[in-house]
Amino acid sequence: MNRWDNLKNKYSQLSIAEKIIVINVICFVIPFVFNSVFYLFQIPTASFSDWVQLSPNFYTFITRPWTLITYSFLHADFFHLLWNMILLYYSGRLMLNLFPDRIFVNNYFLGAITGGIIFLLSYSLFPVFRGSYPPMIGASAGVMAAFIFICTYTPEQDIRVFFFNTKLKYLGLVFFFLDVIQIPYGNAGGHLAHIGGAILGFLYARQLGKGNDIGIWFENIWKAIFEKKSLKMVYRAPKSKPVKSQKSDENKQVKIDAILDKIGKSGYDSLSKEEKDFLFRAGKD
């Protein structure tokens, strides 16, 4: 196995959250390479960045609708990237212990899209932004969606923060209100986008707790685009009894629901080792 195949194999073994982190790191490095090339050929760097960052000017946006997602893969500096990826890593670990990859993907990217839409609407609605059109980049809206999702779904779970323990619900409230109170002090559009992502994560978790997956429509779109579909279908007669299989699936779902209810009431740490192992295996199915 050559080095490239080895890298692809290692990448395939990462969780979906870790894969998104890798992509963000790559997208952070690539512009530096482009900047060097553009410098040598005397090409303005804005000619590239304008096509991937999100402009608050609606007329610019409608000519570049893809920027509603691409902006979330770019970062202004190293620490902007670092803090976002640290929070995404821990939020992703907590989410993926409970849910399959598709829920994480739906929540994360819908958070980024919602944050982008709030950013666009804010510059059209609020007088304070009149005549100002700074573009936005950063994964913060998607990261906040993932973080607030898990804070909402398992609010009583204890988490270690530096030298003390606190519950996720309190940490989520702190992050949310920090964005609210920082709006007048710079990067107002960015903070509003963070709030948009947080609201999406909150609503997604609340609705999922009621058995309603509000991201299913988005899942159908990205699966239609990215998932490979087999061109040939081979019919095979079922070897097992369908009634028995259906009953087994129902029993499994009942057990999952009971465990999730327990997490919602008492936190993840209240689970026994057997319950944690069962939930982990179920999330991989």
The CA distance from 138 to 161, in Å, is 24
**Is 136 strand, coil or helix?**
strand
Let me know if 152 is exposed, middle or buried by CB neighbors in 10 A (0-12, 13-18, 19+): buried
For the chain, the first-to-last Cα distance in angstroms comes to: 29
Residues of the chain with pLDDT under 50: 230-244
**β-bridge pairing 158-161 and 164-167:** antiparallel
Kindly report the pTM of this predicted structure: 0.80
- pLDDT for res 85: 97
d(CA 75, CA 275): 39
The pLDDT of residue 233 is: 42
Beta strands in the chain (DSSP E): 158-161, 164-167
Distances (CA, A) of 253 to 162, 211, 267, 279: 37, 12, 19, 10
List all residues 6 or more positions away from 88 whose beta carbon is below 8 Å from its beta carbon.
Answer: 17, 20, 21, 139, 142, 143, 146
Burial of 230 (0-12, 13-18, 19+ CB in 10 A): exposed
Query: What are the tokens at 5?
Result: 């195949």
Residue 165 three-state SS: strand
Determine the pLDDT at residue 49: 80
Task: Round to whole Å and give the CA distance between 98 and 107.
Answer: 14
- Please give the pLDDT value at position 133: 87
